[in-house]
Amino acid sequence: MVNPAAPRLDIAIERWPIAGQFTISRGAKTEAIVVVAQLSQGGLRGRGECVPYPRYGESAEGVAETLRGIADRVAAGLSRTDLQREMPPGAARNALDCAFWDLEAKRSGKRVHELAGLPSPRPLTTAFTISLGTPDAMAEAARRASGRPLLKVKLGADGDPARIAAVRAAAPAAQLIVDANEGWAAETLGANLAACAAAGVTLIEQPLPAEADDALRDIPRPVPICADESAHDRASLAALVGKYDAVNIKLDKTGGLTEALAMDAEARRLGLFTMAGCMVATSLSMAPAMLVGQTARVVDLDGPLLLARDRADGLVYEGSLVHPSSPVLWG
C-alpha cells in the first residue's frame, strides 16, 4: 500500500569516464559505473550514490534491480532505521541510506552532521592514488604528484619492492601508504613488508586475501596493516583484532553512512584506528564519507580527482585538501 506521505524512489545507472586508466591488482578500468538512488517528496529530493563491488558479486544492474525491488516498501513508509534491518550491507543499501540522510536534511533544514549529532565537518587532506604499473610508469606518476602530501600506491604483483622504491625516489617528501588489494601471499609478505618499511611507508592496506589473512597474526608488522576487503561492517570487526592495526571504512561495504558511523565508533573501541576510503566515484559518493573522515587517521577520498569530470556542484579540491559538501550536492 502506498503511503501518500512517503517519498518516491527512482534509480539511475551512470557512467563517468576515468582520466586515463585506473589499475589495481585485480584489473583495470576506464570508467566509474555508479548507481544513484533518488528520493522525491514534496518538491524536495535526497540522493545517494554507490559503486557496485564486483569483488562481492555486485553489478550495476543487480544493485539497481535490488533497489527497484524495495521501492514499494519505501512508498509504503520504510524508514532509514527500517532499512538497516531490511537490506544487508553493501552498495545498494549505501545508495538508499545516503538518500534518506539527504532527504532528512532537506526536510528539516539542518545539515546531516547536525542530524547525526556530529560537529561541523572541516576540510581534510586526502591521499592521491598512484595506479599499479611498471616501476618506471609509477615513478613518473609519482613525480607528477610529488607535491601532494599523501600518496596511495597500488601494489599487489610480482616486483613490488622495485615499484615502491621507485615511487619513493620520485616523491621523496610525500607520505606513502600502500594498497596491495589482496595481491600478496604469505610467502612474499615478509619481503614486501621490509621493502615498504625501507621506503618509509606509513600504512599498508589488505596485503593478503581476506580468506588467508590469519598469517598476519604470526609475522612482525614493521608497518601498520589496515583491513579493507576483510572489513565490512561492525560484525566483521572482532575477528580483525590481533591481525590488523586499522580498518578502512567504505560506505559501499558498510551499506551507508548509518552503519559507517557506528562502525567507526566500534573500531576505535576495539583499539583499531580508522581510515576513510572510497571507490572511484563522483563527489556524491564522497560527500557522506567526509563525515567518516573527520575521525579517521588516514583519508582516501580522491575518487573525483581520478575522473575526467565530476558532477555539478561537486566537492571543492584545493590540491589534496578537500572541503565538505554544499547542501546543493548532498546533506
Q: Are 252 and 228 within 8 A, CB to CB?
A: no
Q: Does the annotation count 154 as an active-site position? A: yes
State the number of CA atoms in the 13 A half-sphere of 130 facing the CB: 33
Measure CA of the first residue to CA of the last residue in the chain; give whole Å: 29
How long a stretch of residues is the chain?
Answer: 331
- Rounded (10°) CA dihedral 304, 306, 311, 313: 40
Choice among 106, 152, 250, 253 that is catalytic? 250
**H helix or E strand, kind and range, residue 328:** none
On whether the CB atoms of residues 48 and 104 are closer than 8 A, the answer is no
Cα angle vertex 30, ends 297, 312, to 5°?
70
d(CA 115, CA 195): 45
Strands, E assignment, the chain: 8-24, 27-41, 44-50, 124-125, 128-130, 150-154, 175-179, 201-205, 225-227, 246-249, 273-276, 298-299, 317-318, 321-322
Q: What DSSP string runs through 219-282?
A: S--SS-EEESTT--SGGGTGGGBTTBSEEEE-HHHHTSHHHHHHHHHHHHHTT-EEEE---S--
| Catalytic residue chosen out of the listed positions 29, 106, 110, 154 | 154
- 29 part of the active site: no
Residue of 212, 158, 229, 219 lying closest to 193 (CA atoms): 219
Q: Take residue 255 and report the three cell numbers written for it.
A: 551499506
SS3 87: coil
DSSP assignment, residue 26? Answer: T
Question: For the packed helices 135-144 and 160-170, what is the interaxial angle rounded to 10 degrees?
Answer: 30
Catalytic residues: 154, 250
